A and B are shown apart, each in its own frame.
Chain A
Amino acid sequence: GAGVSQSPSNKVTEKGKDVELRCDPISGHTALYWYRQSLGQGLEFLIYFQGNSAPDKSGLPSDRFSAERTGGSVSTLTIQRTQQEDSAVYLCASSSGQTNTGELFFGEGSRLTVL
C-alpha cells in the first residue's frame, strides 16, 4: 500500500492476556518507530529500528513490552500480561532514514483497551 498500515485498528483484551500489534511500513523505508499515545498525552517514544542496526529500545516502559522487525520490513509490538495502564493508541511510523529530516509517516494506530 501507499501508506503505513497497522492492525488491528482496535483491540479489546482482558488484563493478563498477551497482545500483538502489527505494522507494515512504507516500502523502502529503513526506519521504523513505535509510539504510544495515551489520552490527553503527547506521543511517548517506545522503540526505533534503523536498517540492520540494533534497535533503540530505550523507550519501552517495562520488560512486558517487546518488538521485532523481520526482514527489515514488517514489525510486531508484543505486550505480555497486559495491564489496564497499557490502554492507549499505539502508533507506528516509518521514514526514509535520512538523517534528521524529521518527517515520519504515521499509520492510523492500534487502539488497545485492557479491561
Chain B
Amino acid sequence: AQSVTQLDSHVSVSEGTPVLLRCNYSSSYSPSLFWYVQHPNKGLQLLLKYTSAATLVKGINGFEAEFKKSETSFHLTKPSAHMSDAAEYFCVVSPPSGGYNKLIFGAGTRLAVHP
C-alpha cells in the first residue's frame, strides 16, 4: 500500500526567505512522486514530478524537490519566496506504470507569504 504524509498543514514565511514544504511517502515499490499547487479558487497545477530519473527535480516557478530514498522523503524547496507563491501545495504518490494512474494525495500544506 502507498501513502503520503505532509508534515506541516501550514507554513508561513517572509517574502525573500527560503521555502521548505515537507513530504514523506510510504511505498512497497519505487514510486513516482509529484507536487501540485492550488491557488485560491483555482484548479490544481502540476509543479514538478519525479519518475526515477534524476533525484533532484526542478519545476516551475523556481521550485525544486529532492527524492531521498533512504529517508523516504520528497521535500519541496524554493530559495526565495514570492508573494505569488501563497497557495496550497499537495504531495502526491502514484503507482508504477502498467495501467492507469490512481494518484494518492497528501492532506496539503498551506503556504502563507508575508511582506
Contact = CB atoms under 8 A, between A and B. Distances in A.
A55 to B, nearest CB: 11
A40 interface: yes
A26 B46 CA distance: 16
Nearest to B108: A42
Contacts of A31: 100-101
Contacts of B43: 3-4, 91, 93, 105-109
A100 B57 CA distance: 17
Interface of A: 3-4, 31, 35, 40-43, 45, 48, 50, 56, 91, 93, 95, 97, 99-109
Interface stretch (B13-21, B61-69, B77-85, B91-99): B91-99
Contacts of B9: 40
Nearest to A107: B43
Nearest to A50: B100
Contacts of A100: 32, 51, 94-98, 101
A95 B108 CA distance: 22
Nearest to B95: A100
B100 A103 contact: no
Contacts of A99: 97-101
A47 B83 CA distance: 35
Contacts of A109: 43
Given A42-B105, A56-B100, A102 B92 contact: yes
Nearest to B98: A99
Interface string B25-56: 00000001010000001111110010100000
A76 B101 CA distance: 21
